[in-house]
Structure 1
């Protein structure tokens, strides 16, 4: 962690909004939407969001009727930061026929911790994420040296939520690893 000129703690390399005046709208990511072929895109390995088949079909119908109203957010190497399910349904035959495999993207340059933060913010804003993948992301951030206060601030989480996610991280690996040896007085019924 580092401090800015005002003495505020910030995550090293974290993009911070410039509050000194109006933003240059031409430099905003949404001002740089481009169409690329979906085959260029790569899913990330940490997305905690899950969508059931009926909602995926609803997303297809939404794009069929309304068009793509949100670009897919990608890194310069086309790894998906946000929009995995828009990418996923873009392979549907109906959408392939309409768009020829092309999808709208906007590129952002983020380091690994900040792209995970971005993915979480996008998903939480829509109200969907799975607990264990989310816990794994928090565990990764802690391992990368991100302080709990920064996780709370940047992901808009309460202390208790961060604690619970930290405690849940790695649970599937722990199950079965901690074997209990029963005392000699224990006799199996059978």
Structure 2
């Protein structure tokens, strides 16, 4: 365990040429093309918010997809082909593979109802069009529409009521 702020890999972010990095041969993570395009949008709109994690020899431990999209000419031009990197020094190859898996699995999943609430807010309160939500969230029209329709569904139709009617109570 690394104690103290100065002992954290993040305290030593380097900007290195993307060509100095290379993929590992075991990464089980796969990102579909729409999500890869969304990652490009994320970096283009928000900038680099997460570094790539690599071994001292440049082998990518985490951030393979960030490294991949950094070849896009628009992203490459943002930093002159440099990408943010933190270095890990795993004692063994097995430790490196475990680190890759932990990084991938720790990201979690998006719940449908919270995403629906976000889409509803983006449309109703922030004024985004369906097309803007589609482009900036990497969604298809049907997904935006369905999430929008679902947003607030637990509140709709219950205003002024104490609870559900007996019609909602299951009986045998």
Pairing 1:95–2:75 present: yes
- Could you say what secondary structure the match of 1:126 adopts? coil
Can you list the C-alpha shifts for 1:91-149, whole angstroms capped at 9, x where unaligned?
A: 00110121211000001101200000000001111248xxxxxxxxxxxxxxxxxxxxx
**Runs of 4+ more than 6 Å apart:** none
Consecutive unaligned residues of structure 2, counting only runs of 5 or more, are 110-172
Over the residues paired in the alignment, what is the CA RMSD in angstroms?
1.3
Pairing 1:67–2:52 present: no
Q: What is the aligned partner in structure 1 of residue 95 from structure 2? A: 114
Pairing 1:123–2:101 present: no
TM-score calculated relative to the size of structure 2: 0.61
- Could you say what secondary structure the match of 2:25 adopts? coil
Within 5 Å, give how 1:27-176 maps onto structure 2.
27-110=7-90, 111-127=92-108
Aligned residue pairs total 108
Consecutive unaligned residues of structure 1, counting only runs of 5 or more, are 1-16, 129-190
